[in-house]
Structure formats: C-alpha cells, structure tokens
Structure 1
Amino acid sequence: MNDLLKSGHRSNKSLQMHTPYSSTPRTRCFPKTPLSRRLTASARAARHESDGEVHDYEGLVMKTWKVYSLSPLYKFQSTKTSLTKYARSLDFALSQDKLRDMYSENSGHEKSAFSIYEGLNFKDQDAKAIQIQVSVKNESGNGANTVFNALMICVDLDTSPVPEYLAKHFTYYPVILVSGNKSRTDIILTWLEQHFDCRSASVQFSNRDLRWFLATGSSQSVSRKSCPVVLQYSLSDVCDGISTVDCKFDAEFCKELWDRLNGGSSSRQMINESEVTQYVTALEEHLECTMHILFSKLSLSEVGTSMAYVSSQGKLKLFSNLGVFPALHMVCEIVKDGFQDIVYPLS
C-alpha cells in the first residue's frame, strides 16, 4: 500500500488555466518535507491576548468541523453582489439535487447565504474568509434553523500555488471547514467544483501532521483552565480487540518540557522538525517507561491540546478564541504543502 501511495505522489499533474484541477485525483496529496514552519501566528495571537484584542470567533469555537482542501477558485469574487448571486445559484442546486429525497420533509424550504467572516484574514494577500450557511424553516414557520455551515479560509500564508501571472484569475482558499450532514456537504462541494473549476478533497492528517499539531499546541502559553494534552494512538493494525490507547498529560507539564528542550516560543519566529521530533520523542519515552508500550512504533490518531483537537480523519475542534489563529494557520500550512508540486502551463 505504501508503495502505491508513493507511486501516486510521483505522478505529474498538469493543469489548464480554466480547469486548474481537472486532472487532480480526489485524494490529498502528500506534502513535501517541511524543514520548518513559522510561529508568527502563535506569537501574534499571544500579543493579542496581552493587549486584550482577542477576536470573538462566534460560531467557530467549540464546534466539530470536518476539514476539506480546495484548489484555487477560478473567477471567484467576494463582493456583496457576487455573494448574493452565489446564494441564489446554490439554492437552485439544493432544490434540484436528487439527494433531497432523503430529507424531503424540508423540500423547498432551504435557504443559503454567503457572507464574509471577519477576523480570519491577517494579511492583505489573505483571501477574505467566506461563510456559507444553509437554513431550514422550522415547523412553526416563524423562524429558521441553520443546518449547514462552512468556512472557506486562507490564514496567514506566505506563498500560494498560483503563480503571479494568474493571481488575478484565481482566489486561493486552501481549506474549507464543514459542519453539516454528508448529503448537503456533497451537494455544496460539487457546486463549488462546477462553478469555480476547482477540486475539493477530504483531508486526512498523517502521523507527522499530528506531531506538528501536538508540538505547536503544547508550546503555547497555558492558562489555569487549560484542557489536558491528549495523545491517542491507533492499535488497529497491532492488537486485536483494542483499537486505540489514550494518554493524557497536564498542559503545564507539556509547556515546561517544551521550554526545557527548545526554549520559550513567545519571541520565536520558526519551529523546525527536529525540535518537533525531539519533543514528541521525549513524551513517548516517558510513556514507554510508565506503560511499557513502544509508543514510538505506533501512529497517532488524535491529538488534543489547549489550542485544539485534531484527528487523523480530518476532524477539528477549536477550544478558545486565542487558539483559532495558530490552529487554522497550521491547518492551512499543512494542506497548502500538498499543492506545491502543481504546474500551471502557459497553454
């Protein structure tokens, strides 16, 4: 299986200008080796906290999201007129799709809305975050309940897979966060693909990705009410009858360990993979001495820090307003790495 995956990664992908991902498979590309990643997001979030400027991310925190990747959207615009037009088009798609038979009691009462979600673009070149909501009239007819929510985001990225000479044609949202049932998710992702010549794919975080989340989340400042640091390892291929094993650490202990190994992160701009490996190895060696299990031979399936919960299946839950910026920055960085080998031909 690994050989097959590696073989698929080596395949060349050529893209046409108006159909940028017409030949891209519906699977997440494997990222190139990241030697280091910026901690600018973490440092900036810490400054917001000290200045009392933490943004209120209403509807984003304490909700479980499914992470999908998006290729650049062709001729997408975030003007009010365009967003209104997109909503009307999506309403029609929702009403016409055959999957509506599964929830026909709501037929004809779904209403979609596109809007700009403030507080998630931190650079001028960051595309404005777009929120997509679908609501259904309640039984009394006096109001509506939101049944689907999605956020297209690009959080503090230095680079884009779109070359400069095509930048005016494409808007890059590496990530779309989705909260809703599979039927509506499929309809809306298909609608995006058809209207903006893009390709969506369900994101799965590798063991390596989860180690990055663990290290960056553990290096953040800890409040008294912080959640414990949770490591869940998969045993599905190792032990019959037991699928996972969970381990918990006090968040303050993890922060102290990180500082002892690598120094404080409040003034740092970069974190490299050797530091991540050193930190996670130290945690696993402690667990091995305590539980007599070779955790270094297992793969992480879930990670939870005071910042966020992340699973290998691409699920994400943000725990605080302060953790939104660094967590989503890391998600966008990881997903973006999968698109770096794409070439845009001139003809």
Structure 2
Amino acid sequence: MDQVHDNRAQASVGFTHFSIVFLKTPAMLGQLVIQWLERKFDCRICRLSLQTYELRKVVNSSLEATYNHAQGREDKRPRPIELHYAFPQTIADLRFVSVSVSPEDARQLLVSRVDGATAGLLEGVEAHCSESMKVDFERLRLTRAGCSSWFIATEGKVKIFPDIADKHSLQEFIQAIARCGT
C-alpha cells in the first residue's frame, strides 16, 4: 500500500506506508481484498514489478544469505537454484535460457571467492556459463530466479516455500524485495 508522495522516505502526516503486501488467494478473491483495502484505508495498491537490476539485487543478497556458508542444513527436498534469462528480441529462434545450480555448487562458489571480492553468485554463475557456453550474459535479462526457499520474477510473482524458515530470514527476504520493488 502506497501512501507516500513521490515514493520518498518522508510520509505525509497521518499516513502510513506499507511497502509490500503479499496475497495468496485465487485471483478473484485477491482482487476483492485489494479493493476492500483501498476503500477502507483510502490507499493505492500496485502490483509489484521489478526491473532487472532490482531483481539481480534481491537474488544476489538472498542467495548470499541462504548459501554463503561451508556446511548448510540438509535439505529435505533439495532444489537447485534456477535462473531464467530472456534473450533480446533480435534473436528470433531463442527466447530464454535456464541455468540450474545445485545448492552444493552454490555454496562452493560463494565460499571459494577471493577475500574482499564483491561479485555475487549471479556474477560467478554468469562468468562460468559465458566461458563454457559462449553466451554473452551481459546481453541477457534475468527474468526469474528461485531456490528451495523462494521463487521471484520481474513481473511481481513471489512464492515463498516453508523451507525459508530454516535457511533464510523471511523478514530479510521481504525487506530486500521492498527496498527494490517499484
């Protein structure tokens, strides 16, 4: 719910800013809830959308918090990290490429970084894939990403799995989205 002028940190007197609202309902019921909230609290609720650079920030920080340790908890149902990239429209026959990274490989990649390195998991995966697949990842757009704790897409879809309580702070994940989301 957005009651902040110009999306700045200063709210008008008497107004409250809730940066993000998650709904898990059928579309019709969700629309009714949104309309009720907008009427009841005289507010505006907009669908979350993330620019590619915002999605990259959320994904890098969340994956770092989830996998940046030498030994993690054993996953009950280990899921790979899935990264989906869209090709530019100038390439007619290819629309997207998906890259899967096992949790063990992600941990190894993050733990083995040079001390003081600022490159995140995405940069490491993209550098490796660019080298081995000869694909220029700088020309691709990250559109979706997910792991065993969450799934997020640029069009505003977010799915949070029960695993998030064991691997990552739900509050930190939501705050990362709220900082970047528009």
- The reply to whether TM is greater than 0.5 is yes
1:69-93 CA-to-partner distances (Å, cap 9, x unmatched) read: x1149xxxxxxxxxxxxxxxxxxxx
Residue number among 223, 226, 233 corresponding to 2:73 in the alignment: 223
1:62 paired residue number? none
Q: Does 1:286 align with 2:128?
A: yes
Name the CA shift for 1:263/1:161 in 2 (closer, same or farther; >3 Å). Answer: farther
Partner residue of 1:261 out of 113, 121, 134 = 113
Deviation of 1:241 after TM superposition, in Å, equals 4.1
In the alignment, does 2:11 pair up with 1:71?
Answer: no
SS at match of 1:247: strand
**Alpha-carbon contact 2:49-2:155 (below 8 Å) kept:** yes
Is 1:312 matched up with 2:164?
Answer: no
In 1, the alpha carbon distance for the partners of 2:10 and 2:180 equals 13
Aligned residue number for residue 162 of structure 1: 11
TM-score (norm. length: structure 2): 0.77
Quick one: structure 1 residues 262 and 175, their matched pair in 2 at CA, closer, same or farther if it must change by over 3 Å? farther
Counterpart AA for 1:330: A
Aligned pairs, number:
168
Asked if 1 retains the 8 angstrom alpha-carbon contact of 2:19 and 2:178, the reply is yes
Which residues of structure 1 form unaligned runs of 5+? 1-69, 74-158, 265-273, 339-347
Matched position secondary structure for 1:180: coil
The 3 A distance-change label for structure 1 pair 238 and 309 is farther
SS in 1 for 2:46: strand
Aligned runs of 1:192-341 on 2, under 5 Å?
192-219=37-64, 220-221=66-67, 222-225=72-75, 226-235=78-87, 237-261=89-113, 275=118, 277=119, 279-319=121-161, 320=163, 321-322=165-166, 323=168, 324-335=170-181, 338=182
The structure-2 alpha-carbon separation of the partners of 1:181 and 1:242, relative to structure 1 and needing over 3 Å to count, comes to farther
Aligned position for 1:127:
none
Change (3 A) 1:235 1:249: same
Alpha carbons of 1:186 and 1:175: their partners in 2 closer, same or farther (altered >3 Å)?
A: same
Q: Structure 1 residues 184, 333: CA separation in 2 closer, same or farther (over 3 Å shift)? A: same
User: Structure 2: which 5+ runs fail to align?
Assistant: none
Q: Contact 1:309/1:318 (CA < 8 Å) preserved in 2?
A: yes
SS in 1 for 2:21: strand
C-alpha distance after superposition, 1:17-47 (max 9, x if no partner): xxxxxxxxxxxxxxxxxxxxxxxxxxxxxxx
Give 4+ residue runs of structure 1 displaced > 4 Å after superposition.
Answer: none
Sort the Cα spacing of 1:181 and 1:161 in 2 relative to 1 into closer, same or farther, 3 A.
farther
% identical aligned pairs: 18
Distance in 2 (alpha carbons) for counterparts of 1:278 and 1:308:
18
Confirm or deny: 8 A CA contact 1:217 1:306 kept in the other structure.
no
Q: Which of the pair is proportionally richer in strand?
A: 1
TM-score by length of 1: 0.43
Counterpart code for 2:11: V
- The alignment's C-alpha RMSD in Å is 2.7
- 1:212 is paired with a residue of what secondary structure? helix
Superposition deviation, residue 232 in structure 1:
0.4
User: In 2, are the aligned partners of 1:231 and 1:247 still within 8 Å (CA)?
Assistant: yes
- Name the SS for the 2:94 alignment partner: coil
